[in-house]
Amino acid sequence: MTSGGDGGLARLRVVGVGILYPINLGYLARVMGNFGFKELYLVKVDQRTLDESLKYSAHARGIIENARNVEELREALLGVDLAVGTTAVPARSKDNLLRRCIPPSMLGELYSRRGGLTALVFGRESTGLSNDELNQCDLVVNIPASPEYPTLNVAQAAAILLYELHRSEYSRSQSLDAAGKDHLRQVLKFFSKLCEATGIPSHKKRIAERAFMNILYRASPSLREASALLTPLRRAASTIENLSKLK
């Protein structure tokens, strides 16, 4: 299935994981329609929920009727260049790199600069996205709210984030030739090789890889910038490996 809309509006896939209540799914579709986004993937959503959500979807029922319902989040992220998870529980410790979040405004800026397909992933009404599901995402976004009641309804959260994406698409003054997923994965691959060559413990290697990944995707480097990073990382990893063989 391809998404509707024109230009940048066709570059977004909304993913809903384990949505339980038909009214939430129906209102999510309405918000998507408000901002011109059409492509909806669902993960393990009950058929009854799908059927009953149609009565809440108003003029956006076509979004639900054309939605793809899959068994695993990985399936919903196939073909995606940038996956952005959502959470109401950002990192409380500076050591928690998985939940180190970007604000909605930064999400809009990144979206306007990137090509390819972006997925915006919303979690369950009760527990949100699990750590494993967030780990499948390249970035995580959090909507700042009152600490007394920080959790937004999925449709409310979608309205805020989709507005940011819609606004950024129409307000951008120039488009950068942002590096795609394959180029960024190459940079991450050689950074991982560099970490491995230095001999740091595996748990510290995982932390370093996640930290570098966070920085890389937040920066949204151009193709030229990503290529410039790739060469020294590759050479550094190779040099350290060769030196270790001489010992």
**pLDDT (tens digit, 9 = 90+) per residue, 32-60?**
999 999 999 999 999 999 999 999 999 99
Give residue-wise pLDDT tens across range 52-106: 999 999 999 999 999 999 999 999 999 999 999 999 988 777 778 778 898 999 9
pLDDT tens track for 131-161? 999 999 999 999 999 988 989 999 999 999 9
Question: What pLDDT does residue 170 have?
Answer: 64
> Two tokens at 35?
């901002």
Backbone angles phi, psi at 199, to 5 degrees: 80, 20
* Domain 7-171 grouped into CATH 3.40.1280.10: yes
Q: How do residues 228-241 score in pLDDT, each as one tens digit? A: 988 898 888 788 87
Segments making up each domain of the chain, as ranges? 7-171, 181-246
pLDDT digits (tens, 9 = 90+) for 172-215: 544 556 788 888 889 999 899 888 888 888 888 889 999 998 89
Count CB-CB contacts under 10 A for residue 192: 18
* Displacement of CA 4 from its chain's centroid (Å): 20
